[in-house]
Amino acid sequence: MKKMEFQKSEFKRGLNTTVRLGEKWRGLDIGEIIEIEEGKTAEIIWVAVHRLKDTSRQTLIHEHDRKCRTYEGLIDTLKNIYPELNEQNMGYAIVTSVAFRPLPRG
């Protein structure tokens, strides 16, 4: 089972999204189960690869990290996680948005 790491394991009930730099997570399949923290799993709902500047409002609304629910907040967070992002390449950076639904434990 694949494990997706989170700096902030703050998840809502229902649909959550996360935005990751690059295409590492593009191969996730709809319905696939991944581990999101020790003993906690989630079902993949959808995956989209796009430029950072094209991150959809729908993705932002469902961001698991409430700070990332605005484009500016997402940018601030991503710059802290991925130091290679800078003002020149940021909007054109390729990212993968992943939507998932945390599953009940057990």
Q: State the architecture of 16-102 in CATH terms.
A: Roll (3.10)
- Write the burial class of residue 36 (CB in 10 Å: 0-12 exposed, 13-18 middle, 19+ buried): buried
Cα–Cα distance, 101 to 17 (Å, whole number): 9
Position 87 scores a pLDDT of 77
Terminal alpha carbon distance of the chain: 16
pLDDT, tens digit (0-9, with 9 covering 90-100), for 44-82: 999 999 999 999 999 999 999 999 999 999 999 999 999
